[in-house]
Amino acid sequence: MTDATSHLFSGPPAYVPRTPWRVGWALLATLLISIAGILTLSGLLSIDKVVRGLGRAQGLWREDMGTLLTLAAWQLVTIGLTIGASALSGGKVSDVLSLRAPAGGVRTYAIAAGLTAALLAVLTVVNAWVAPEISQSQPSTALFGELWLLALLVVGIGGPIAEELLFRGFLLSALAASKIGFWVAAIISTACWAVLHGGYSAPGFFSITVMGLFFCWQLQRSGSLRVPIVCHALYNVLIVVVFGRVTVQS
């Protein structure tokens, strides 16, 4: 149960880690799940696509249905393995992954979404000022052509669900339940999550790190992973539709 008097800006933090996993085993499980996802990704991408895609500026953002479907397969593997791991050792999936309703109800979603959009706008302006040569603002149709709707589903929904469940759901709960406390756990889990975006430019990597810590704050205050999942999805959708994306220079 969540505390109805708690929400994003007042009352005690609503987050309480509930997991049977110890830190070492959780880190190992997270690594194995990530490796399984990477093997799935690598196995489904042809050598030609790896050479043409990962080594160039557009990366996995090419207008390529095969690439998007491959990313979707990676997301499904990650989601399935994370849910499976959460149910081990007597754990209850909804507790381990903090999938309970958020403190503050619908208002929490609305406020968190507004803050997410505002922070993304600020980071976009800062990145454009710091590194204008690698910042691009393109509408979704320019990025993905006729595949923009599929891209929204894969990037805007599948990605946030897979990443939030694994890093801020499964891993963070084990870390936060240990003696290191919530914010050290948040930094470690965000660092692990940021590694997935290692091909980003320096400004892009900075933005990812800031947003990751911001999603952790949302989780701590609301007590529910549903809030960062929704806001992560909003973040990704806005990047695809409105703000374009930051490219990685080859």
Token pair for residue 48? 């030609």
Residues whose CB falls within 8 Å of the CB of residue 222, separated by 6 or more in sequence, listed in order: 7, 8, 14, 15, 102, 103, 104, 108, 112
- Which pLDDT tens digit goes with each residue over 15-74? 999 999 999 999 999 999 999 988 887 777 654 455 455 444 444 445 567 777 888 889
Q: Which domain holds residue 194?
A: 23-246
Name the domain count of the chain.
1
**96 close to 18: Cβ distance less than 8 angstroms:** yes
- Which pLDDT tens digit goes with each residue over 119-169? 999 998 888 787 665 554 444 445 566 777 888 888 889 999 999 999 999
Is 137 domain-assigned? yes
Is 11 domain-assigned? no
Is 17 domain-assigned? no
Is 7 domain-assigned? no
